[in-house]
Structures are given as C-alpha cells and as structure tokens.
A and B are shown apart, each in its own frame.
Chain A
Amino acid sequence: MANISESETIGAATTERYKYGFVTDIESDTAPKGLDESTVRFISAKKDEPDWLLQWRLKAFRQWLDKADEEPTWAKVNYPKIDYQDSYYYSAPKQQETLNSLDEVDPKLLETYNKLGIPLQEQMMLAGVAVDAVFDSVSVATTFKEELSKHGVIFCPISEAVQKHPELVKKYLGSVVPVADNFFATLNSAVFTDGSFVYVPEGVRCPMELSTYFRINAAQTGQFERTLIIADKGSYVSYLEGCTAPMRDEHQLHAAVVELIALDDAEIKYSTVQNWYPGDENGKGGIYNFVTKRGACRGRNSKISWTQVETGSAITWKYPSCILQGDNSVGEFYSIAITNNFQQADTGTKMIHMGKDTKSRIISKGISAGHAESTYRGLVKVMPGATGARNFTQCDSLLIGEKCGAHTVPYIEVRNKTAQVEHEATTSKISDDQLLYCRQRGLSAEDATTLIVNGFCRQVLQELPMEFAVEAQKLVGISLEGSVG
C-alpha cells in the first residue's frame, strides 16, 4: 500500500465506485413525492430485492406509521417539524454536470479544499471536474480488488450484498439496530437505498484501510444510508466514512443506520469525519443528521472502537454505541464535536456491559463557538451479569465566546456491585493568557485558537487513521473560522 501514490489511490476509488455500482442505474425514475407502502414497494422493486427484504421493509414501514407520535423530542435540539410527506424517497441520481476544469468551480469551494490541503486531482474529483486519463487507475484498482478478494474480504454496496450474499445480510441486518429501535431507524429500515457492506472472514486482518475507497464515494452519500460491517472471528478491519471536504446535499434530513458486529477476538475500528453543510452564519439551511450507529461485541475478547469528528450539519443527533455481550470485550468512543454559529449537536454514546470483565472507554471533546449548543449525552449501563465491568468516561467541553453553551448529561446505571465506573468532566475556555502567549510568538488569533483547540482534541485526533488526522486538524481550524474576534 505504501508505495501507491495519492493520485493512484483516487483513481482506484473512481473505478471501484463504478465497478461496485456506487453509481446506480441512471435510467431509473423517481418515486412520487411522499411516503406510503407503494413507495417502499417501489424502492424494493427498483433494487430487485428478494421477497424477505421487501417484507422486512414493509414491516418497518408499518411500525413507523405506528410511531408517528414518537419522533424523539428528548434531545437538546430545536428544529421545525419535518413533513415526511413533502419529500422524495427514491429518485434517479442526477447526472452530475461535468465541468471541464477547476476554473469553473466555485472559488469558495476551492479555497476550502486548499486550506484542507486536498491534492489537486482529488479536488477535481470532489468538485465534479471530468477526470481524464492522466492517471491510469485500472491496474491499481485491480490490485486493490484482487488484494481484498485474495483475503476473502467482501466490500460492496449493500444492495449488491443483498443479491450476492443474501445469507449474510439476512443473518445480520437489523440484528444490532432492530427495526423498532427508534423513529429514525425504523424509517431508515423501510426506505434505505444505499450504504456499504463489509465482511471480513475468520482470522483475516483486512489488508487496507477501507477509507481508501470511501473517500470519494462519500460525496455521494445518500439520505437513508445503511451500513453493515461484520468482522468474523479473529479478524480486524478499519473503516472510515465521510470526508473532510464540505458536503452539500439537497436533502435536508439524513437518517443513517450503521450496524457493526464483532465476533470472538475480532476488532472493528470505525472512524467518521462528518462535514455536512451546517447552514450559513445566520443558521439558515443546513443538514439534519439523525443517525443510529451501534456495534455489538458479540464474541469474547472482541473490540469495537468508534472515533468521530463532527463538524458539520445544522443539527446532529447521534450516539454511536457498543453492546458488550462477549466476555472481556472492549468498547471505545472517541469524539470531537465542534459547533459554531447556530449549529446544534446532541451526541454521545451508550456502553451496555453484559459480559464479564467488559471494558469501555469514552473520551468526548465538545467545542462550542458562536451561538452554538453542544450536548454530550452518554449512558453507561452495567447489567447484572457483567461482573468485573469497568468504564472510564472523560467529557471535556471548551467554550469560545460568551453566547455558546455546552451541556453534559451522563446517565449511569449499575446493576452489578463489582463494576467500576469513573466519570470526569471539565468545562473550560480558551484563556486570554493562552491567546496572548501564542500571539506573542507570532500566531494570529485564529491560528492560536486552532492550535489550542487541536491540542484540546489531541486524545481523539490521534485515534484517527494517519492520513485523515492531518486533514482533520485543519478542518478543526476551518470549522472555527470567524469565531474569534
């Protein structure tokens, strides 16, 4: 991997996307506006799904109807009521208008790409500039694909997995996030259209970061994404979703479901960089990101690690969680949530200890600037059988300016006396002394803030795959632009 240059990697991603059908059939039409049973049937038919999956979707849809009054209101976020009938649930992907050169791209977008240090060819990809044959990607792509299949790793769109690996999908889909789990997850189960599927067979260490592919694909992320990752016994996989480049989307509501399953001695590392359009500096527009992410450490000695950098979206509602079923299993949650202007984030995690000697670790860093509100909401639950369970939680909030807020809402439920649960929380501000110290050394106030915030986030940043850590640091700075006077 190390000898593959950046541009080749991107080339590979382009081709892979095509190969794996990340671009769905252009000829497909649009389902009529609104949501009823026929919409669900339409989606299923378009995807040529087996009957069991159609029935699964229909069941979800009926449950969603019953839940009509159950749209969650407990989170500390405010938004106008969503009209679910005023939306399209299936539409043909619009052929993206291809531009001929970077000169035609919105200069503001390019400015951001440059600040992030995204290589030129990748910028072209992201901005939709026609990628010519400058990089011969086919051979590299083939190498990647061969490499994965040599190890028996399956990595494809979930709709393809439904066709080619129905037994795996049927066995695991909805096994971590049940259809009835919550309003948004139920809606997703009825109407999901895309997402990824990963299966790593027993004893296999996935030979590459699956981020390598995903980086470009992320620009195409759908409204109701569904991701399913299974790490069989003794396997390891690291997966990264998202993109540091800012993403706009015509859909305001995004309700994804991600399910992870780790069997005995398996490890899944799932990293997210979320940079959806947050709305303008007055709080207009912006994506609502209501996501259900959950991992099951089903096997003994298994481990699931969530790392997230949340800088985008107008509203984020997200609690990547771990169900620690296997004895001696480990759950980790590392989070950076940055909110600026009028953004709202209610995020955190749930660690459910069921097996013996299970361990969890939560490191949450919330940064609020402008008028933003950020809430950490976390649950640590130790079930009666979880003898010897241990949790460590550290929640740090950093406030920039006077008008923002940070809130910490920890729930702790312990039903086994041998459990040890530790919780630490701090709230701080960037001090005048720190700012002066940096500025006295020649840093601008903005650069000083970025540096200090990156220092504050270090424990989490260092959990990210290397190639994204650098960009994520720059992203921190960009997200806070305009927050210091």
Chain B
Amino acid sequence: MTVMLEIKDLHAAVNGKEVLKGINLTINAGEVHAVMGPNGSGKSTLSYVLAGRDGYDVTQGSVMYKGADLIALAPEIRAREGIFLAFQYPVEIPGVAGTTFLKTAYNAIRKHRGEKELDAMQFLKLIREKQKQLDMTDEMVRRAVNVGFSGGEKKRYEMLQMAMLEPALAILDETDSGLDIDALKTVADGINALRDPGRAMLMITHYQRLLDYVVPDFVHVLAGGKIVRSGDKSLALDLEKEGYAVLGTAAA
C-alpha cells in the first residue's frame, strides 16, 4: 500500500500559540479518514498546516507527502502536487468569475504536471459535465467566486473545484455543514464518485449523517490538539450516541 500522508508528532503554533500538540496520522492511498472533535480542538488548524497557510508554523515533528517533506513547499506547489483543501469558510473574490478562477487554477495545475493547458471551449465542456453531477447551474458557476452564494452553494462550489482539480489528497473541512438534506446527498455522491485507489481523503466533520453516505475507513477524534482516539466507522456512531464525554476527561 502506498503511503500518501504521514504525520509524525506534529506540533504547530498559530500566532505563537501552540494549537497542535503532537499529532500522529498515516493515510494510505485509497483510504478515507474522518476526523471529528469538539469546537476549537484544532481540526481546521491541521487542515491549514497541511495547506501551508502563512502564520501556521510547524514547531516540531514532520509531515511527509508522497514520500517527500511537505512543510518546505509553498502552498501553491502543494496544491499543484495534488493537495486540495475544501475550506470550512470559502472566501469571496469579488469580480472574478467562477469559471475564470477555476480555469486559471486548472491550467496552473496542468502546466505543473507538464500537460497541455485547456482552452476556453474545452474547459467549459468539462466544467459543464461536473457541474451537472453537483446540481449547479451555469449561472452559479459564472458568478463571482462565492459572492452572494448561500452557505450550501459555497460548499457545492468547493466540491465542483475538487471534482475538476482531481487531487491526490483531498481535505474536506466541514463540507457537510450548512447543507440541506438533498444537497448533502448530492455532495456525498460527488465525494464517493471521487473515491479511488489512487486518492486519499481526510474529512473533517461533526456529524454522523455525512458518514452514513461516505463511509470512512477510519475515524479519529481530535481533542486539545491531539488525536485521542482512533477506530473504524463504529467510533463515529458511539460518539453520535454519547457525545465527546465518551472520551473521558482527557478530551475536555
């Protein structure tokens, strides 16, 4: 089995404050890992550290991606190498059409891979296919990036980007939050469609309902900047029933 991501004793500080306090996690290609945990436990911080956000400093430990040191790479290089983060709070970029944004990203990644960039027509054809799967209209996709999108629409737009960019490692930060029941199903179908022996996923979520649709291989609980419990899908069900109290005082 190929190791996609290997995190060892990861400590990270945000604005000088230590938030991640020794994370160990290995994700193999083809696996889906769910990460759960109380608010403020460091889940988004972990996703930002993996994405390479400025100000999120690794103070100890290591992160290897596809066998190479990830921390040394600029955020855009990580992205081009196949790391995709679906943001918990996608940002608005006024005046930039969604299609323009995505085409720029798509071609930047293709160029990095030594592939030919797509022209406008080829790109539109491709995006049309993908947007249909996610129940998105042309109008939504053409609008300025995330501007005036409802919470659920933003999440769907993140999924459209993921489907287009076909990452090797997808990190989904609460992509299920804010989705209505139908949208959740649509998004879950989208995620499942991307499950692939060559691709790994890290899904951050608070709710079992996503995991009903996208069944994870492993579930981890992050609390106080550490993974305090790991198990299979049944761990999520236990948590759903009993809350984080099940973890005992260590997690609080």
Stretch in contact with the other chain, from B11-19, B92-100, B207-215? B92-100
Which residue in chain A gives the minimum CB-CB distance to B92?
A434
A451 CB contact (under 8 Å) in B91, B101, B161? B101
Which among A436, A437, A439, A441 is the interface contact of B165 at CB below 8 angstroms? A441
Contact flags B74-118 to A (C-beta < 8 A → 1, else 0): 111011100011010011011110001110110011001000000
- Choose from A437, A445, A447, A459 the contact partner of B93 (Cβ within 8 Å): A437
Closest B residue by C-beta to A458 = B95
At the interface, yes or no: A138 with Cβ under 8 Å from chain B?
Answer: no
- Whether A437 touches B76, Cβ cut-off 8 Å, given contacts A432-B54, A447-B104, A451-B101, is no
- Closest residue of B by beta carbon distance from A428: B94
Q: Verify if A85 is at the interface (C-beta below 8 Å from B).
A: no
What mask results when residues 426 to 455 of chain A are scored 1 for a CB within 8 Å of chain B, else 0? 000001111011111111110100011011
- CB-based contact B90/A437 at 8 Å: yes
Q: Are B109 and A456 in contact (CB under 8 A)?
A: no
CB distance from B126 to the nearest CB of A (A): 16
Asked if A455 and B94 sit within 8 Å, CB to CB, the answer is yes
Cross-chain contact A442 with B109 (CB below 8 angstroms): yes
Name B164's closest neighbour in chain A (CB-CB): A441
A-B Cβ contacts below 8 A, count? 78
Question: Are B51 and A451 in contact, CB atoms less than 8 angstroms apart?
Answer: no
B236 adjacent to chain A (CB < 8 Å): no
Most B-side CB within 10 Å, residue of A441, A443, A452, A458:
A441
Complex Cα distance, B147 from A452, in Å, reads 13
Question: Are B79's CB and A440's CB within 8 A?
Answer: yes
Is B128 among interface residues, defined by CB-CB distance under 8 A? Answer: no
With a cutoff of 8 Å between Cβ atoms, the chain A residues found around residue B48 in the complex are 436
The answer, yes or no, to whether B144 is at the interface (CB within 8 Å) is yes
Chain A residues with CB below 8 A from B109, complex form: 442
Complex Cα distance A441/B110, Å? Answer: 12
Within B127-175, the residues touching A (CB, 8 Å) are: 144-145, 161, 165
Residues of B within 8 A of A256 (CB): none
Q: How far is the CA of A303 from the CA of B136 in the complex (A)?
A: 40
- In the bound complex, what is the Cα–Cα distance between A331 and B86 (angstroms)? 45
Are B75 and A436 in contact, CB atoms less than 8 angstroms apart?
yes
Chain B residues within 8 Å of A440, by CB: 51, 75-76, 78-79, 84-85, 87
Task: Say yes or no: A454-B95 contact (C-beta < 8 A), given A440-B85, A442-B76, A442-B105.
Answer: yes
A interface, over-half SS: helix
Q: Is A457 engaged at the interface, CB distance under 8 Å to the other chain?
A: yes
A454-B95, A455-B93 given; A441·B54 CB < 8 A: no
Q: Does B53 belong to the interface (CB within 8 Å)?
A: yes
Q: In the complex, what distance in Å separates the CA atom of A226 from the CA atom of B160? A: 53
Asked whether, in the complex, the Cβ of B108 is within 8 Å of the Cβ of A443, the reply is yes
The docked-state distance in angstroms from the alpha carbon of A456 to that of B104 is 17
B176 to nearest A CB, angstroms? Answer: 20
Give chain A residues whose Cβ lies under 8 Å from the Cβ of B91: 431, 433-434, 437
Shortest Cβ gap from A271 to chain B (Å):
19
Q: How far is the CB of B124 from chain A (nearest CB, A)?
A: 17
When distances are taken between beta carbons in the complex, the residues of chain B under 8 Å from A441 are 79, 101-102, 104-105, 108, 161, 165
Q: Contacts of A451 on B, CB cut-off 8 Å?
A: 93, 96, 100-101, 104
Q: Which of B42-68 contact A (CB under 8 A)?
A: 48, 51-55
Tell me which residues across on chain B come within 8 A of A432, comparing CB atoms. Answer: 53-55
Q: How many residues of B contact A (CB 8 A)?
A: 33
A side interface size, CB within 8 A: 23
CA distance A442 to B90 in the complex (A): 16
Q: Which of B55, B90, B105, B165 counts the most A-chain CB atoms under 10 A from its CB?
A: B105
Q: Does B87 contact A443, Cβ atoms closer than 8 Å?
A: no
Give Cα distance in the complex from A42 to B52, angstroms: 67
B144 and A439 within 8 A (CB): no
Which residues from B are CB-within-8-Å of A452? 93, 96
Residues in A whose Cβ lies below 8 Å from that of B54:
432, 436
Q: Which residues of A contact B80 (CB under 8 A)?
A: 442
A439 x B79 contact (CB < 8 A): yes
Return chain B residues, CB-CB under 8 Å to A458: 95-96
Distance in angstroms from B93 CB to nearest chain A CB is 6
| Distance A205 CA – B51 CA, assembled complex (angstroms) | 55
Contacting B76 at CB < 8 Å: which of A431, A439, A454, A459? A439
The complex places the Cα of A447 from the Cα of B144 at a distance, in Å, of: 17
Residue with the greatest number of chain A CB neighbours at <10 A, chosen from B54, B85, B95, B108: B95
Contact flags A447-476 to B (C-beta < 8 A → 1, else 0): 100011011111100000000000000000
Contact flag A442-B79 (CB < 8 Å), given A436-B54, A437-B91, A451-B104? yes
A140 CA to B80 CA, complexed, in Å: 47
- CA separation between A431 and B89, bound complex, in Å? 14
Minimum CB–CB distance for B79 against chain A, Å: 4
Which residues of chain A have C-beta atoms less than 8 A from B75's C-beta? 436, 439-440
In angstroms, how far is the closest chain A Cβ from the Cβ of B72?
15
User: Would you give the shortest CB distance from A120 to chain B, in whole angstroms?
Assistant: 20
Complex Cα distance A254/B145, Å?
41
Question: In the complex, A455→B146 CA distance in Å?
Answer: 13
A434 to chain B, nearest CB (A): 5
Query: Which listed residue, B74, B87, B96, touches A454 by the CB 8 Å rule?
Result: B96
Contact in complex: A445, B95 (CB < 8 Å): no
Q: Output the least CB separation between B111 and chain A (Å).
A: 9
Inside 8 A of A439's CB, which chain B residues have their CB?
A: 52, 74-76, 79
Complex CA gap A456/B93 in Å reads 8
CA separation between A74 and B133, bound complex, in Å? 60
Query: 8 A–B contact pairs at CB < 8 A?
Result: A436-B51, A437-B93, A438-B101, A439-B74, A439-B79, A447-B108, A451-B96, A458-B95
Residues of A within 8 A of B (CB): 431-434, 436-445, 447, 451-452, 454-459
Please give 7 more A-B residue pairs, beta carbons under 8 A apart, in addition to A439-B75, A441-B79. Answer: A432-B54, A437-B91, A439-B79, A443-B108, A451-B100, A456-B95, A459-B95
Measured CB to CB, the residues of B under 8 A from A are 48, 51-55, 74-76, 78-80, 84-85, 87, 90-91, 93-96, 100-102, 104-105, 108-109, 112, 144-145, 161, 165
Which 3 pairs across A and B sit closest by C-beta, in order of nearness? Answer: A455-B95, A455-B96, A458-B95
